[in-house]
Amino acid sequence: MPHEPLEKVVERLLDGDQHSRREFVQRLGAMGALASAGAFLAACGGVAGTEKKQSAKQAAAAANHPKTAIGTLVVSNWPLYIDKKTPKGWERKYDAKLDYTEDINDNDEFFAKVRQELESGRPIGRDLVVLTDYMAARWINAGYAEKMDKRNVPNAKNLLPSLQHPPFDRNRNYTLPWQSGMTGIGYDPQKAGRLESINDLFNPKFKGRVSFLNDWRDSGGLVMLGMGIDPAEATKADVQKAIDKLDKANKAGQIRRFTGNDYAKDLASGNLWACVAWSGDIVQLQADNPRLQFLIPKDGAMVWSDNMLIPQDAKQPYGAETWMNYYYEPAVAARLAAYVNYFSPVNGAREEMEKIDPKLASNPLIFPDEETQAQLHPQPSLSAADERELTAQFQTMTGA
């Protein structure tokens, strides 16, 4: 890319493996601040719970957000998740001001930060937040999310069909994806040969040369696919079967590490031959390591989204909807996808991308074809209690 944005250059310098937009920040956060403020504050004293009855507001039917003048729209998103032009374009179009903050580094951490307001029914001072599937599900179930007034978001029709009915928001009443990503296998064909299936990761030939992501939703989901279980419909027992399988492999020394996206450095330097990987990372790695491949295994791959969602009692629900609507214009989404390199949830962005960068437009990891999309499975959607138990089990299995 000839015109690399400054943030990316800085990120590259900071991070040897030059890919990890989100996890890099997350990792630094976790390491630098062991007692991260959010989690730490939450730990202080008896903390009230987050499972709340469905609020009366949520039960009410369709939302109605009349058009008003937008003052300042407050949006929270993940770092390095936007290009320079999109905010200005929106401001011009709606003659409003955008207060865009990159203050979400980790779903749980962000949740801990705003939990007290959410629980006591107060606004959290943001009109739009971007949360990964399971966290969006938690907010919707607890009544912390505001329904969209779909009349204000006509462009929502551009959402890719494969993302229209996630288990946590069957009709996309609350959420629209910002970016999506695939979790599959990243590998080096020169070392590992050609791979086909998730179960190849358990091949003893690769002992100590494979890694899994440190998250049961991604790693467990893939292992379940290899066992013939559909992760979207999986029960707790199914996930536990997958964790057991990983446990055996780990004890046998098959698994080198459980990683955040620091797997990328290991994969690029040849320490890893194959690993559970995110599509966006591999796209960025391929720029310098063209031999690396991202495999959508024949058993299927996982798909996840970071979703835009309006929190309860947002001051500018209409403003938030105009922002969603603006982003769902294919030209805007294409421009953003050219910068972010994850997969764009907006139909028509590929055609627009042809005009910006034809090479990216033909990249199946940014614009997967329909056949590929059919192979993608959403992450398991379980109760908060089950998820908590599985998180604890998975962490124990990894030795921490």
Partner 1 sequence: MSSAATAAPAAARGRLSLRRRRALLTYLLMGPGVAWLVLFFAIPIVNQLWVSLQTGNADTGFQQTYNWSVYPDSISQYTDQLFRSLGYAATATVLCLVISFPLAYFIAFKAGRWKNVMLLLIILPFFTSYIVRTVAWQTILADDGWLVHRLQDVGLVAHDGRLLATRTAVIAGITYNFLPFMALPLYVALEKIDRRLIEAATDLYASRVTAFRRVTLPLAMPGVFAGTLLTFIPALGDFINAQLLGSSQQYMIGNVIQSQYLVVRDYPVAAALSFVLMALILVGIAVYARLLGTQTLRESIA
* Site residues (vs partner 1, CB under 8 A): 16, 28, 30-32, 34-36, 39-40, 42-51, 106, 108-109, 208, 214, 250, 253, 255-258, 262, 265-266, 269-271, 384-385, 388, 391-392, 395-396, 398-400
Please state the closest distance from residue 12 (CB atom) to partner 1, in A.
Answer: 14
Please state the closest distance from residue 182 (CB atom) to partner 1, in A.
Answer: 23
In the bound state with partner 1, the residue whose beta carbon lies nearer, of 9 and 48, is 48
In the bound state with partner 1, the residue whose beta carbon lies nearer, of 45 and 290, is 45
What DSSP string runs through 177-200?
Answer: EEEEEEEEEEE-HHHH----SGGG
What DSSP string runs through 139-158?
Answer: HHHHT-EEPP-GGG-GGGGG
In the bound state with partner 1, the residue whose beta carbon lies nearer, of 40 and 85, is 40
In the bound state with partner 1, the residue whose beta carbon lies nearer, of 327 and 394, is 394
Q: Which residues contact 376 (CB under 8 A, 6 or more apart)?
A: 162, 182, 296, 300, 301, 302, 303, 368
Please state the closest distance from residue 115 (CB atom) to partner 1, in A.
Answer: 9
In the bound state with partner 1, the residue whose beta carbon lies nearer, of 83 and 109, is 109
DSSP type of residue 340: H
Q: Which residues contact 242 (CB under 8 A, 6 or more apart)?
A: 216, 219, 220, 221, 223, 224, 227, 229
89 by DSSP, 3-state: which?
Answer: helix
What DSSP string runs through 221-275?
Answer: HHHHHHTT--GGG--HHHHHHHHHHHHHHHHTT-EEEEESTTHHHHHHTTS-SEE
Please state the closest distance from residue 140 (CB atom) to partner 1, in A.
Answer: 15
Please state the closest distance from residue 387 (CB atom) to partner 1, in A.
Answer: 9
In the bound state with partner 1, the residue whose beta carbon lies nearer, of 187 and 339, is 187
Please state the closest distance from residue 322 (CB atom) to partner 1, in A.
Answer: 33
Strands 175-187 and 128-132 turn out to be: unpaired
